[in-house]
Structure 1
Amino acid sequence: MSENNVELCAKYISLIYRKSGEPIKKLLKSIGLTSTQSILIIGIHRNSGINQKDLSNTLYIDTGAISKNLRILEDRNLIYRIVDESNRRNFKLYLTEDGKELLEKNEGLQMEFWEKSLEIFDQNELEQFKSFLERLEDNIG
């Protein structure tokens, strides 16, 4: 791949990430979440009973940011913690019923945004795009 193509790919990946962030941030604000809290709620839902350290590793989010946001989510009754009997210094994380309701709103808003953003592609192009993104993510590690 020529250096110019690599630069263009990196440029567009970065631009898409940054440009999508602002409208998604506004959508999340409308339901009382930050981007980090949104990611945490989805991560806890997909890995129910996960501990904080594993959640940090799974989501590639700094443990300090996770601690702060987990406290906020717990104070809002969106998550709860249970002591891990195999290691009493750890807590297993779960969504409350309120957290599950907010998760549905969160996922719905984000799905709407991405469906609208990707409507320019036909089904075949979307399949190819998905395949490219999966390969890229696998190659990054």
Structure 2
Amino acid sequence: MMYELKTKETDRSVFEFIENVESPKKREDAYKLLDIFTEATGYPAKMWGPSIIGFGTYHYKYESGHEGDAPLVGFSPRKAKISLYFATGDTKREELLKDFGKHTTGKACVYINKVADINIDVLKALINQSVSFLKEAYPNQ
């Protein structure tokens, strides 16, 4: 049985999704992030699954035969925190995060409470680094 990736690109409206974010502050931050990610990547924002706003796409294939598509970078304004998605397995990420501001990290995500807590220049560097890392790791995109 092939593993089915739940997070697929959809045709849902990114703006509609952001407009439905309950907290007005989170909504405002989502629009700020939308601008930053769009400007940094040059890719249009797309909805991935029900709650991730992704930019760009790459096709991955593991040795196990598991393969799929994923956004190069993205974010999700969740109830508790805002999740930021960058490339995992990139050693430069740790370096950049030292100057990022208030955040916590999960396996695949970096969590922030609000945009005001972070350094926007470092965010742009993290986005650019993630995109170039994935394009190198997964050429022929």
Give the TM-score normalised by the residue count of structure 1: 0.27
Q: Which has the higher strand share?
A: 2
Structure whose CA Rg is larger: 1
Q: Which has the higher helix share?
A: 1
Give the TM-score normalised by the residue count of structure 2: 0.27
